[in-house]
Amino acid sequence: MTATLVRRATVDDAPAIARVHLQSWRETYPPVLPAEVLDGLDLDARTARWQEILDEGRSTVHVAVAGGEVVGFASAGDGRQDDAPAPRELEGLYVLARRHGTGDGARLLAAALGDRPAYLWVWRDNARALAFYGKHGFDADGAEDTHTVNEHPIPAVRMVRP
């Protein structure tokens, strides 16, 4: 297995982050999002959004690079909720399915948050993600929400690490 380098993302990484983001959604969300929604995800629009995020600098974004290819990313920032249970929010962490089990996710999580208190939202039925975050000190705190993608609901639970 190719060694992984985790580094801070730059605006030049936006296309690669967008590609990983969309591929990860297509690998993860078929049980909850219809195929036409996943097939219709727009790489150009997602790239433009990641360019904005990286330009704004509100979130810190890290990428995992293996064999010269971005294979995962994590973004974190100040909590976006007024009643945030911790000062930092893990806004997203995605690793390509072929890299699951390599430690890339753990390295990205460490780069994004260190050992600081934080929270995140995760799809309620994503057993793999729930187990991963639990292994890294996060517990569901009872808060639930519904995130919507193209008018399709994704039930989410909040997990917090003190």
Q: Is residue 148 part of a domain?
A: no
Domains held by the chain: number? 1
pTM for the model stands at: 0.94
CATH code at 26? 3.40.630.30
Which residues have a Cβ under 8 Å from the Cβ of 44 and sit 6 or more positions away? none
Q: What is the DSSP letter of 111?
A: H
Q: Is residue 74 part of a domain?
A: yes
Q: Is residue 140 part of a domain?
A: no
Q: Is residue 36 part of a domain?
A: yes
Q: Is residue 99 part of a domain?
A: yes
**Which residues constitute the domain of residue 95?**
4-116
Q: pLDDT tens digits, residue range 42-88?
A: 999 999 999 999 999 999 999 999 999 999 999 999 988 888 999 99
* SS3 state of residue 104: helix
Q: Is residue 143 part of a domain?
A: no
Q: pLDDT tens digits, residue range 7-52?
A: 999 999 999 999 999 999 999 999 989 999 999 999 999 999 999 9
Give the pLDDT mean for 127-142.
Answer: 97
Of 115, 161, 114, residue with least CA distance to 141: 161
